[in-house]
Amino acid sequence: MHFSNWQNKFTFIWVIILLIIGLLTAILWMNERVHIQANIFALLPKAEQNVSVQNTQRYMGDQLNQKVFLVLDAKDEHSLNQATQLITQAAKHTNELEPIHHQFDTAQFGQTLFKHRVGLLSQADIDRLQHQDYAFLIEQSVLQFASPGIPLTAELLKQDPLLLFPRYLMGLSELQTQNNVRLEQGFATIQDDKGYSRLIVLELKNSPYNIDYQEKVMQWIGLQKQGLASLSVQSHWTGTLIFASFGTQSAQNEISTIGLGSSLGLIGLVWFGFRSLRPMLTEFIAVSSGSLVAFFVTHSIFGEIHLMTLVFGASLIGVCVDFSFYFMALQSQHRQHDGFTILKPLLPSLFMGLMTTIVAYLALSFSPFPGFRQIAVFSMVGLAAAWITSILLLPRLPALNANSALQRLSWIGDIRTKFQEKKILRLSAIFFIVITGVWGIYHIKVNDDVRNLQSMNDQLKQEDRYIRERFVQPQTTDYFIIEGQNVAQLEQDLITKLKTLKIKGDVENFQALGQWLPTAQQQNENKRQLMNLPRSMLEDYALATNTPIEDILVWQKQLDSQPILSIADMQMHPLFFLQQNKNIRLVLVRGKPSVLHALQTSQIHYQQPIQTLSDMFKDHRQQATKLLLYALIGLAIGLGVIYGFHSIVPLMLPVSMALLTTFAIQSFLGVQINLFSLMGTFLILGIGVDYAIFYRHGHDHSNVVGMALFLCMLSTLLGFGLLSFSNTYAIHCFGLTVLLGVIFSFVYATLFTVSDQYHQVLKDLKKGKNYD
């Protein structure tokens, strides 16, 4: 094939590159090697801490994330049992869930405790034995013997003549969270004035963030809801998979909404601007090629691509049309010239417009957030690829008619001209904007709560809250990690301190395996103390209770051979999961963080997963603020080197004021900003400088610039402004920031950017010079 000019050669090479990338992407997709990440917390950086703590955090996450919690509400016991049977059988016959296991059996566990009763004593009895207050101990046993509330049998008196075990059980009663919960058919069940309720825990077989698995489980849940409804049983579902599935669906819907909204809006824009729908096809080609290249490169670098990256990627259409609108508007006014002839003098400005946007995203790539780096790479690669496609495709097409739009939007140029003629008004406006902007930023509020990353609707929150309040006290995500060779003793020491703090009101509640399982050392000491009980005291007790002294002495003699309770005996207990391994044990706690932090040692670590991530969010928001300042400085220096240092203020002033106004308005409206708000500023920076460059160097076709940039601004709002309607608060903040920033970037660039009279973009066109 013969190539007559540079544009054909570059076009051929670019088409070959796109075909190769398309083929490789198709092969990856068909081989199911494309991994789309849906876990919203995968956007966050991993905490810098020791491997043991990281493993424990992952372990704790799995304990909750791999479960779906179901509460059945029925009017009568028969319907409740039918519903339980339905769910049990359905779980048994699906490949998506583990078979349902019965929950904690209190009767069976009580028998286990009784078999190991020799080392299990109430704290009061332990204290009496340690102080050798045998008389008071015997007195309590006599009183308990005479109490009508304790059923006594001959067998019980032989095995526990001093009735120590019932007192131990009474000491455990305070650990029970709900006294009205009983076990029926192996499930926690409540019967009260609200009716019958039962809690069933379903175990997942796969990751709750696997999109295909989410869809299968949610389909299964949907079928079960219908079946339960036919039994007149109301079901309530919650769990990580439920929330993750909603987040996935929201993101997919938002991708569709953004794409549809952008497309419909652009249809109106291009028809208004050029009386043709052909630009829709050319923009579709440009955006598709950009998205294809960006998807392949991003997935190759990171090994996966996040769903939120695709959400932002769907907004690329709002940026790359800036270049094409500008070119097509100018081409419509110079129909006598070849498309590439018109393109060549515009290339420096178009290229700088691309580079300023890419530089803005480049600053984001230095963020420690994996999600931001991924979005930055996707956006930089996608924009560059879409730009290349546009400049190689558009000049080949005949010019469109933009005269109608130029006439209708001539008021933009008129306002710009009149405003710039009034120097005092312009300087006063700049002063007012800067002052109000600084005041607004000074009073702005921030919200670094990492939970804002989650998409969540009110119904899901209500379901989750109902299940928690119906069966358990409000749960905590905070816990202690205890690690060491003698982890049981370390735990007991911590429990002692937590009990003291609970009395003071600094700790609301805590749950520990050690509350049910004394250390082996303590149990053996309890056994030794009982073996040392004086014979005279036992004889007095036998006389007072009319119990054969021989039975009591046989009981005391056999104490040494009786087994003590071990961790292996606790496997059926609901808190057994707090024993991660033989050297690591966990304690759930809810209280004042400042007090709990003080309990940390080299072997005890206080963990606040949500707060830790939020603090990390805050740190990186502050880092992003510094990156923004560096980007402003770097961009100013770069523009000064390219266009001359006298151009820095005209090119940087409009976008700088736009940023001030954007945050000032959010401050006035009470909007709380976060890291994603700052992320939007990088995009505003790149786009805003583009507007100033085009105005600065377009004085000989300012009417074309005004019309093109107005359409560009509206297209960007359609691409990114729609994100402000997202269900995810973080994306909403990003969209709102871009929405305001782009509007004010255009307004300020129009009003305050003074043209460079020495920059002649069209001087060669006027001479009739062509480029082949």
Kindly report the number of other CB atoms within 10 A of residue 414's CB atom.
12
Task: Tell the burial category of 299 from Cβ atoms under 10 Å away from its Cβ (0-12, 13-18, 19+).
Answer: buried
Which pLDDT does position 43 carry in this prediction? 65
Residue 177 has pLDDT above 80, yes or no: no
Q: DSSP characters for 215-249?
A: HHHHHHHHHHHHHHHHTT-EEEEEEHHHHHHHHHH
Number of domains the chain is built from: 1
Which pLDDT does position 474 carry in this prediction? 47
- Asked, for residue 581, whether it belongs to a domain, the answer is yes
In the predicted model, what is the mean pLDDT of residues 663-678?
A: 88
Under a CB-based contact definition with an 8 Å cutoff, are residues 433 and 661 in contact?
A: yes
Q: What pLDDT, in 10s, does the model give residues 428-468? A: 999 999 999 999 988 898 888 877 666 557 788 888 888 88
Tokens at 510, concatenated: 């805590």
- Residues near 247 by Cβ (< 8 Å), separated by ≥ 6? 38, 40, 454, 455, 456, 728
Q: What pLDDT, in 10s, does the model give residues 685-708? A: 888 888 888 888 776 677 788 888
CA nearest neighbour of 244 among 507, 98, 30, 453 = 453
Containing domain of residue 584, as a range?
Answer: 478-518+566-607
- DSSP state for residue 575 in the 8-state scheme: G
Under a CB-based contact definition with an 8 Å cutoff, are residues 477 and 268 in contact?
A: no
Q: What pLDDT, in 10s, does the model give residues 342-390? A: 888 778 878 887 887 787 778 777 776 777 788 888 888 988 998 999 8
Going by their DSSP bridges, the two strands 305-306 and 36-37 should be labelled as parallel
CA distance 207 to 79: 32
- Asked, for residue 219, whether it belongs to a domain, the answer is no
CA distance 217 to 95: 10
- Asked, for residue 528, whether it belongs to a domain, the answer is no
Q: What pLDDT, in 10s, does the model give residues 10-58? A: 899 999 999 999 999 999 888 878 887 766 666 666 655 566 777 887 7
Residue 330 has pLDDT above 90, yes or no: no
Which pLDDT does position 225 carry in this prediction? 93
- Asked, for residue 377, whether it belongs to a domain, the answer is no
- Asked, for residue 698, whether it belongs to a domain, the answer is no
Task: Tell the burial category of 378 from Cβ atoms under 10 Å away from its Cβ (0-12, 13-18, 19+).
Answer: buried
In the predicted model, what is the mean pLDDT of residues 146-150?
A: 71
CA distance 286 to 278: 13
Q: What pLDDT, in 10s, does the model give residues 294-316? A: 999 999 998 888 777 776 665 55
Tokens at 693, concatenated: 């460059």
Mean pLDDT, rounded, of the chain:
83
- Asked, for residue 587, whether it belongs to a domain, the answer is yes
Q: Is the dihedral of CA 37, 43, 47, 48 positive or negative?
A: positive
